[in-house]
Amino acid sequence: MSLEAALDPAVSAQSKSDGRYEQREGVELAFIAALQHLPARQRAVLTLRDVLGFSARETAAVHETTPVSVDSALQRAHKTVDERMPGQTQQQTLHHLGDEELSQLVVRYVDAWERNDLDAVVSMLAQDARMTMPPLPTWYSGREQIAAFLRGSALADFKRWRLIPTAANGQPALAGYLWEAQTAAYIPCCLYILT
CATH dotted code for 3-84: 1.10.10.10
Helices (H) and strands (E) in the chain, counts: 8, 5
| Domain ranges for the chain | 3-84, 98-193
Q: In tens digits, what is the pLDDT along the chain, a chain of 195 residues?
A: 333 343 344 444 444 455 555 555 556 655 665 677 788 899 899 889 988 899 999 999 999 999 999 999 999 998 888 777 666 566 666 666 777 888 888 999 999 999 999 999 999 998 888 888 877 788 899 999 999 999 998 899 889 999 999 988 778 899 999 999 999 999 999 999 887
Q: What is the pLDDT of residues 149-172, one digit of tens each?
A: 999 988 998 899 999 999 887 788
CATH class for the region spanning 98-193: alpha beta
Q: Are 52 and 100 in contact (CB under 8 A)?
A: no
Question: What pLDDT, on the 0 to 100 scale, is given for residue 91?
Answer: 66
Domains 3-84 and 98-193 share a fold: no
